[in-house]
Structure 1
Amino acid sequence: MTLKSRPGSLGKRLTPYLYLSPTMVLMIILMLVPIVIVIGYSFYDNVIMNKHPVFIGIKNYAEILTDKNFHQTIYNTAFFTISSVVFHMIIGLTFSMLLNSKLLHQTTRSIFRVIYVLPWVFTAAIIAILWRLMLNPNGIVNYFLNIFGTIDSKVEWLGSRDTALYAVTFINIWSGYPFYMVSLLAGLQGISIDLYEAAEVDGANSVQKFLYITIPQLKPIIVSMAMLDCIWTMQQFSLIWMTTGGGPIRATEMLSTYTYKLAFSKYEFSQASSSAVIILIFSMLLAFIYVRKQKARD
């Protein structure tokens, strides 16, 4: 009887893998194989453009890591990513607490929810066009700043090395905070009211309730969103490309645009592969930290 049951038990064990096999095959073909190919390309002199590429080891990595433009790119990406994540968190938490407040009427909260979530609805192309028009020297931003006396001349927000990085960071913050707001709002609504009532009985004020109840209860959500946001923001391409293209003079050059230009402007596909592998390593480190946090949370 044991021998007869073995085929059935084996079939039960294999059934989940049979269901997963189409997805696994697609992931291998569309993800794993391209990654392996790009890693292989990074060790040759210049693939695609050279019919007979020569193996040169880590020379491409050495050139990338010692390139001053790459150092500027690392700084821009770090500033862009850290600033975006921090302000996404602050603005998202502020708006979520406002929308969860009982001080506002239900209708008022519903209206503000629609308004606050609008930036998340727009595509990157619409956001880029919208802000390029508003930040134009003749745009509405300069107009109002001039009326209020903040500036006395027209500013090239996206065309000046002094302001371009701050401008694209602001745009990314504006377009990304609704993700935090919606997630944190759901988290706030999941906190038991009994905790706040017990704190009031113990004499806790609003600040103490926020620090010792709200933040600890939201911490798992905050950590998860921060990790994911770091990965997504570090790989941001479309918004940068459609607003500044990495300019002016590499002032807003990110790892993504730097790699793209190496491949499709300079046709240095091997160096572009090396840059892509470096981005992959950064992303995998963040993903590893995220998975560990998720396991600790579970």
Structure 2
Amino acid sequence: MTSAQVEPVNAPESAAPAERAAPGRTRSSPARRLVPYAYLSPTILLIVVLMVIPIVMVISYSFRDNVIVQENPVFVGFANYTKVLTDLDFLAALKNTAVFISVSTAAHLVLGLAFAMMLNTQLLSGVTKAIFRIVYILPWLFTIAVIAVIWRLLLDPAGVVNYVLHSLGLIEEGVNWLGDPGKALWAVTFVNIWSGYPFFMISLLAGLQGISADLYEAAAVDGASPWRRFLNVTLPQLRPVIVSMAVLDLIWTSQQFALIWMMTGGGPLNTTEMLSTYTYKQAFSEYEFATASAAAVIVLLLTMVLAFFYVRQQRER
């Protein structure tokens, strides 16, 4: 018997796994590192030219005397700051500005929130809300020049405001709202409130529309009254918007110039003099550019304090 010789079946040899080459770290060249700065260079250039250089120039002017009007101004140190801080007109402007911005911001918040809640309620129809939106947004559609002219005519002793008040028996004769030292500041503050509340209203309305209805339903199930729902749901949800808007409004209102200048020019008897109008008069009425620069630096420092709180609040969020 012939035995068949069976050849052993050899298992295929497993190929050794190819060794993967570890990717090497790409070393960025100096040119590649500068690419992000090249993209930012136009913005940086504009900031330097339009902001940094003017601010540095104004600060340097504030430490000199007879700047711009003389070729070689004299370095006087903090003399211009002392002159400004001891000027009665500057102190009056500082006080008026504090009253003006605090009352305006508080009124903007109250009116803006009230009108925003009115437009957000389900009790009004869509047509009614549309009409109210148009009426409420009207002050924001006018320029400052138009607002100043309109209200100067309305507040004239022979204007519409006095006519209406006289017809209602509230006054006996025409009141010079912008010429009376006891009423002028409150008159321009009222006009600023009227022209600025739509910005608050629109921002707060957007915040109200972002609050979930489930929160109000849960509060209603717990037996909370509408007032408690406002305190415990609406205000906490709107707090970031309210704080941000309030700080921004304080900064913006503190720089209000055109409205004051076109309505009263800072008068009568400096009762509506603001830091902005005081600085303008120092520079372009009395040609005291050095003291105007010192006043501008003081205003910059005050607004930087408000800006610091705004940035801090944004970081906390």
With the shorter chain as reference, the TM-score category is over 0.9
Q: One-letter code of the match for 1:192?
A: S
- How far apart are residue 51 of structure 1 and its match? 2.6
| Structure 2 equivalent of residue 126 of structure 1 | 146
Structure number having the greater helix percentage: 1
1:21 aligns with 2:41: yes
**Equivalent residue for 1:99?**
119
Corresponding residue of 1:69 = 89
Aligned to 1:289: 309
Aligned counterparts of 2:24 and 2:257: Cα–Cα separation in 1: 58
Residue 252 of structure 1: how far off its partner (Å): 0.4
Which residue identity does 1:249 align to in structure 2?
A: L
Provide the residue aligned with 1:193 in structure 2.
213
Cα offsets for 1:49-79 (capped at 9, x unmatched)? 2232110100000010011111100110000
Secondary structure at the residue paired with 1:6? coil
1:291 and 1:264 mapped to 2: Cα distance?
34
1:56 to 2:76 alignment = yes
Partners of 2:203 and 2:302 in 1: how far apart? 25
Runs (4+) of structure 1 moved beyond 4 Å? Answer: 1-4
> What is the count of residue pairs matched by the alignment?
295
Superposed CA deviations along residues 123-152 of structure 1, whole A, max 9, x for unmatched, are: 000100010010011100000000111111
CA offset at residue 14 of structure 1? 3.8
SS in 1 for 2:315: helix
Q: Match for residue 152 of structure 1?
A: 172
Deviations 1:27-62 (A, max 9, x none): 100110000000000001120122321101000000
Match of residue 189, structure 2, among 159, 169, 174 = 169
- Partner amino acid, structure 1, of 2:164: F
Does residue 87 of structure 2 align to residue 87 of structure 1?
no
Worse-superposed segment, 89-98 or 42-51: 42-51
Query: Deviations 1:92-112 (Å, cap 9, x if unpaired)?
Result: 000000000100001100110
Q: Distance in 2 between matches of 1:164 and 1:154?
A: 14
Deviation, 1:3, is: 6.4
Q: Which runs of 5+ in 1 are unaligned?
A: none
Deviations, residues 199-224 of structure 1 (Å, cap 9, x unaligned): 01100000000000000000000000
Indicate the structure (1 or 2) with the bigger Cα radius of gyration: 2
For 1:7 and 1:101, how far apart are their aligned partners in 2?
A: 60
SS of the equivalent of 2:73 reads coil
1:179 and 1:238 map into 2 onto residues whose CA distance is 18
CA deviation after TM superposition for structure 1 residue 5, in Å: 3.5
Partner of 1:262: 282
Scaled by the length of structure 1, the TM-score of the pair is 0.97
Equivalent position SS for 1:38:
helix
Displacement after TM superposition at 1:249 (Å): 1.5
Percent identity, aligned pairs only, is: 58
Structure 2 unaligned residues grouped into runs of 5+: 1-22
Partner of 2:14: none
Compute the displacement of 1:115 (Å): 0.8
CA distance in 2, matches of 1:204, 1:262: 57
Tell me the distance in 2 between the aligned counterparts of 1:99 and 1:158. Answer: 33
Distance 2:138 2:59 in 1: 40
How much has 1:16 moved relative to structure 2? 3.4
1:177-233 Cα offsets, whole Å, 9 max, x none, are 000000000000000000000001100000000000000000000000000000000
What is the alpha-carbon root mean square deviation over aligned residues? 1.3
Cα distance, 1:114 vs structure 2? 1.0
Structure 1: how far apart are the matches of 2:293 and 2:66? 10
- 1:2 Cα deviation after fit: 4.5
Do residues 7 (structure 1) and 57 (structure 2) align?
no
Which digits, 9 at most, give the CA deviation of each residue in 1:144-185, with x for residues without a partner?
000111111111111111110000000000000000000000
The one-character-per-residue Cα deviations of 1:255-296 (angstroms, maximum 9, x if unpaired) are 000000000000000000000000000111111110000000
